[in-house]
Homo-oligomer: A and B are copies of this chain.
C-alpha cells in the first residue's frame, strides 16, 4: 500500500474514509454512494459540507452492495440493515423484527435452492459441451448448422 506518489495527504486517521476512497475500494461511483444516502441507506457525518464515513458506514455500504448482488432492492437492503441496528428496543418492534428475519431467511433458502439447481444445470451443460468437443474431434459430421 505504498502508493503516495500524488496522494491526497492522509490528514485523517484510518478510522475514517472519504467518499472517493470508498468509491475506489468498492468499485462504485461517488454518485452511487450519494444515491444510497438520498435513499436513506447511509448517513455519514459531515466535516463542513464534506462527507466523512466511519467504519460503520463502510460496513453498511458493504452490506448494501452484498444485497445488490443478491438482487435485493435498496428498500429491501435498508430494511435488512435496520435489523442489525439495536436502536429501537421496543418489544413490539423486536417481535416484528424476528418475523421479518424469518421471512428473509425463507427467501434466502429459496435462493440457495435456486442456485444449487442452476449450478447443477451448468455442470450438465458443461459436461455436454465437453462431450460434444470430444465427438467433434473424431468426426466433423456434427456441423448441422
Give me the interface of A with B, judged by CB distance under 8 Å: 63, 66-72, 80, 83-84, 86, 89-91, 94-95, 97-98, 101, 104-105, 108, 110-112, 114-115, 117-119, 121-122, 124-126, 128-130, 132-133, 136, 142-144
Closest to A69 in B: B114
Closest approach, in angstroms, between the C-beta of A86 and any C-beta of chain B?
6
B69 touches A130 (CB 8 A): no
In the complex, A126 Cα to B80 Cα: how many Å? 12
Majority secondary structure, A binding face: helix
A129 touches B94 (CB 8 A): yes
In the complex, A91 Cα to B138 Cα: how many Å? 12
Known: A94-B133, A115-B108, A122-B83. A89 touches B128 (CB 8 A): no
